Structure 1
Amino acid sequence: MRKLFIMTLGLYCAVALMGCKADAAKTSESKTAIESQTSSVATTDTSVAQSGEDAPVVGGWSINEKLSPSDNSDAMRAFDMAVKNLEGYSYEVVAVLGSQTVSGTNYSYLCKGIAVTPDAKAEYAVVNVYEDLSGNSKITGSLELLEGKEGWEYNEGSAKLEDNADAKTAFDKSLEALAGANYEPIAYIGKKDNSYAILAKISTEGSDSQTTISMVYVTSTDSGAMIDDIKDVDISM
């Protein structure tokens, strides 16, 4: 009887040991499969992160703190590439207004343009250029700043406000009574009678501060000057 009990106990232990080994094997197989899947996902994530084309970073437009072409070498390189084969029209970049990061970069410029024809007159326009990830650039749009403004004439001389005494005096006087915003003149665009159109970067103050590129229309009067209108310019077009 005792011998039969020992044999039965031994058989039970053997069966239990086999079951434990099987469970361990299944656990090991499951762990290996999970590790394999995790490794695959990690590899895929790394590949996407390293591929700018597969996962482009899209952002909004930002207005430049420094607008001078000399302070924006990357933007000027893209512009020169975009206009190198342009025929019949020439552009002079007055200011680099802003940019947008996409799969590549969009740039926005204030340009003084003139047709390559006799007696052609200068025009001012916002011109946008797209540069792809390979460094290829093209013009994607333009907006004439005084288009449709009857009676207005573009400034044919220097775009710098300080080089245009009457326009500068009117602009400065029109701001004397204003507060809560900073007006940075970018260019003197044009004139109609005793009124002046000036492109400016306007930065408001306070908790909800914002910056815009805007056309400021100023009229000189006998008693000083006043702002007639302010029109924001959408550089994203």
Structure 2
Amino acid sequence: MLSTMHIGAWVYNEDPTNIDEHAKSVFSKATKSFLDSNLELMLCLGSQLVSGKNYAFICRRKTVALNPKSAYSLAICYENLQGECSISKMKDVVKENKLLGGIFCTKSSEAFISKLDCIEANRIVHSFNKAFSNLVGVKYTPELYVAHSISTGINYHIIAKAKLSDKEQSIGYKYTIINSFMNEDSIVSVEDL
């Protein structure tokens, strides 16, 4: 993390998979009354100093229903000065839709793509790196493989860290989709989280 924090500015975690105990506690307290889904904490993207503190988390969400649906969601959790926590925003980044040509969310055990050492994970990371190889100015690193969909080839949905090419500091996290088809890998979209 950055050594200085300015009020209102987001400070991005350099390693969003390394979640400290206090941040885990904030997530747990804020989401304890969220009853329609089971939430699994995946990443802590960063924090923002306000009158209290906001935390940006990515969680895997599975609805509690007869036919449960999975999603990966951005949860902004607020901790006030008295230590009380609440969810101030919950937004689906990607939501499962298993119809023909739909989106299939990954299991949490498959999501940490850059930490897995298997043929499929290595192929997806290679496709990601190849798709982003010609960009100038910003370097993208895959952090979390959240879903895939079938189109002409396969679309991989990945949350990535963005850094300026000449800096070591993260400038944010993006929801990216890349397409892999017949040894060609290309960027479909890049969205701010």
TM-score range, shorter chain: 0.7 to 0.9
Structure 1 stretch displaced more, 84-93 or 213-222: 84-93
Moved over 6 A (4+): none
Q: Number of residues paired by the alignment?
A: 175
Cα RMSD for the two superposed structures? 2.6
The aligned amino acid for 2:111 is A
For 2:131 and 2:13, locate their aligned partners in 1 and report how far apart those are by CA, in whole Å.
25
SS of structure 2 residue aligned to 1:168: helix
Q: Describe the superposition over 1:81-140 as per-residue Cα deviations: whole angstroms up to 9, x where unpaired.
A: 112233231111110011111111111100100112233121001001111111110111
For 2:38 and 2:180, locate their aligned partners in 1 and report how far apart those are by CA, in whole Å.
33
Structure 1 position 160 matched with structure 2 position 109: no
For 2:134 and 2:19, locate their aligned partners in 1 and report how far apart those are by CA, in whole Å.
32
Other-structure match for 1:220: 180
Structure 1 position 185 matched with structure 2 position 142: yes
SS of structure 2 residue aligned to 1:59: coil
The aligned amino acid for 2:159 is L
Other-structure match for 1:196: 156
Structure 1 stretch displaced more, 92-101 or 186-195: 186-195
Other-structure match for 2:40: 92
Structure 1 position 114 matched with structure 2 position 74: no
More helix by share: 1
Q: CA contact under 8 A between 2:96 and 2:104: conserved in structure 1? A: no
For 2:71 and 2:96, locate their aligned partners in 1 and report how far apart those are by CA, in whole Å.
13
Other-structure match for 1:136: 84
Other-structure match for 2:7: 58
SS of structure 2 residue aligned to 1:145: strand
- Report which of the two structures shows the higher radius of gyration computed on alpha carbons: 1
Other-structure match for 2:3: none
Q: CA contact under 8 A between 2:70 and 2:95: conserved in structure 1? A: no
Q: CA contact under 8 A between 2:95 and 2:103: conserved in structure 1? A: no
For 2:102 and 2:43, locate their aligned partners in 1 and report how far apart those are by CA, in whole Å.
22
1:177/1:75 CA distance change after superposition, 3 Å: same
More strand by share: 2
Other-structure match for 2:131: 174
For 2:132 and 2:165, locate their aligned partners in 1 and report how far apart those are by CA, in whole Å.
15
Match of 1:145 among 82, 93, 114: 93
TM-score, scaled relative to structure 2: 0.79
Q: CA contact under 8 A between 1:188 and 1:199: conserved in structure 2? A: yes
